[in-house]
Amino acid sequence: MFWSMSVPQFELWLGAYFAEGRDDASSRLPEGRSSSASSAPVDGRANDADERALILAVRAGDADRFAAWYGAVYEEAWRFAYRFVHDRDAARDVVQDVFLAIWERRASWDVHGALQSYVLGAVRHRALNAVRHERIVERAAGAAADCEVRVVPGMGTLSAPTDAPVAEATLRDAMHRHMQALPERQRTALALRWENGLTNVEIAKVLGVGEAAVSRLLARATETLREVWNRLT
């Protein structure tokens, strides 16, 4: 029975959730990108280079340095993009667009703060734009389809998913559903903290909010999930 299952503590589950996300995303890397290609963080420090020196090299048009940095940061940036677009090719396009924009504007490119926060912030911005565009396209297609479909009165509407009966689903599936139902900023803040290891200050730079706002986002997300956890277990 579900209720007799032994479950890890909430904090352990939260860490495992995002660790699992890394493994799942890596298994979906686009062809030509293996999960072992680079374990470097997106700050570029795996290249033994100071971040400022890297920025200046890119601004000077050092294509080799830029390509090395791109290769070092690609996997983490791709995994982060995938959390928004849920499509490996779309995630690849998001990351490539971000770095193409950097290269095209390299002469005036500058970064204030950590490169990791800068890259993830740019990826989030472009990924959200891609998602919004996709939804606009889907709504337009749906509106066109509605013109051709006769609506039959009395058929009712689909209800939102519920937790009951919980015994019909695993705890993992139920928690995943509630994780995905969190507001985007709360989900992203959790991922940046638990998957990417960013501090509140760094998360604030990615989200474009204040540090206090990040604390509230993390607290609200954690409180919501903890309440669900306690209810289900």
**Three-state secondary structure call for residue 76:** helix
Residue-level pLDDT at 135 = 64
Residue 29 burial (CB count, 10 A): 20
Locus of tokens 């306690």: 230
**Rounded average pLDDT over 155-180:** 60
Report whether 121 contacts 74 (CB < 8 A).
Answer: no
**Rounded average pLDDT over 186-190:** 94
CA distance 77 to 68: 14
CA distance 73 to 103: 15
CA distance 111 to 90: 26
Locus of tokens 């990826």: 123
Question: Which numeric CATH code is attached to 33-144?
Answer: 1.10.1740.10
Locus of tokens 């706002």: 213
Report whether 189 contacts 215 (CB < 8 A).
Answer: no
Q: Which two tokens stand for residue 15?
A: 């860490």
Q: List pLDDT tens digits, range 78-133.
A: 999 999 999 999 999 999 999 999 999 999 999 988 999 999 999 999 999 988 87
**Rounded average pLDDT over 71-83:** 94
**Three-state secondary structure call for residue 137:** helix
Q: List pLDDT tens digits, range 14-66.
A: 888 888 766 565 555 555 454 444 444 454 444 445 799 999 999 999 999 99
Instruction: Return the closest-CA partner of residue 5 out of 222, 175, 161, 225.
Output: 175
Question: Which numeric CATH code is attached to 1-30+167-233?
Answer: 1.10.10.10
Amino acid type, 41: P
Spatial neighbors of 161 by CB under 8 A, at least 6 apart, are 177
Domain spans in the chain, listed from the N-terminal domain onward:
1-30+167-233, 33-144
**Rounded average pLDDT over 216-222:** 95
Locus of tokens 């986002």: 217
Q: Which two tokens stand for residue 14?
A: 């939260």
Structure-model confidence comparison of residues 2 and 28, the more confident one: 28
Amino acid type, 130: A
Residue 145 burial (CB count, 10 A): 9
